[in-house]
Structure formats: C-alpha cells, structure tokens
Amino acid sequence: MQPKKKIRSRHKVNVKKERQKQKKLAEKKQKQLQKQIDSKEDKIKQKPIKESALDLRLRKETNLYWIKAVTGALSVFILRLIGFVGWLLLFWMLFFMLVFPFVVNYVLGYEFDKEEWTWKNVLRPGLGVFFFMFMIVGVILHTTLKLLGVTFYISITGIHY
C-alpha cells in the first residue's frame, strides 16, 4: 500500500494581515529583548566592580612612584636651601632613596600585601624618577643660588661662607 498524500487546501492568504502580524511579533520580541538588556545593565550597575589583584598592585606602584618623585624633589630642595652640598647631599639622597619607602610603609600606614611586596618590590618602583627629580631640582636650585650670590654651604669639611 502506498502512503496517502496530504492534500493541501488552497486558501487565500492576506499578505497585509500577515505582515502586520509579523511586525507585531517583531516589536514584541524587541521589547522583551530591550527589557532583558535593561535588567542586565541594572544588575551590572548595582554590583560594585572589584579590582583585580593586578589593578590593585599597579595602583599602589603608581602611588609609590609619585610619592618618590615628590620626595626626591622636596628632599633636595629643603636640604640645598639649608646649605648641604657634596657628600652630605649624596648621603641624604641615598638615605631617602633606600629608607623613605619603608618609612612610608610603616610609619605613615601605606599598606602593602606582605606576600607580594618584598623589600625589592618596595624599592623598585620610582627609583629612577627619585634620582632624576633629585638631580634636576638640585642642579637648578644650586645654579640659581650661585647666580644669586649665596655662598653659604655645608659640606663634609665643615661650614663655608
């Protein structure tokens, strides 16, 4: 026996009505999709964004970098105005370059993650900018003081007028 063929009835399809139905369905789907997107955006906005460990470390390194830059400029500015030159200024620079980050860490309460931050990681960021700012400000200030005729200075050999 052969399977029976289905007979399709031929009826007229109103194209305008079909298009209107399709438009309504598309609008309904678009509204539902927009609601879903809005609800997801609200959830994203409500959740506080947590910083990753790398972002936190980079932010702390950047802060330490700028602290060292300002410290380098201010330390030479103050000491050169007092009158330090030569070896005393060099020892002062080394003291601030190597000891000040730990002073910031322990005395001022700048917190580091003790597992990640070893003494090398505390000293490394900003070492170059500290030296650069120290030397630039020191040279400019020393030159300015010499041009103005200030001859008072303190060195290892004593106080000179």
pLDDT single digits (tens) 4-37 = 666 666 667 777 888 888 888 889 888 888 888 8
pLDDT band at 95, cuts 50/70/90? confident
Share of the chain above pLDDT 90, in %: 11
Q: Give per-residue pLDDT as tens, 38-78.
A: 877 776 666 566 768 778 778 878 888 888 889 889 999 99
Q: Which of 56, 65, 73 is nearest to 116 (CA)?
A: 56
Q: Report whether 85 contacts 153 (CB < 8 A).
A: yes
CA–CA distance, 97 with 88 (Å, rounded to integer): 14
CA 43 to chain centre: 26
Cβ atoms of 151 and 85 closer than 8 Å: no
134 with 93: CB under 8 angstroms?
A: yes
Predicted TM-score of the model (pTM): 0.59
**CA 99, CA 77: separation in Å to the nearest integer?**
18
**Cβ pair 73, 141 in contact under 8 A:** no
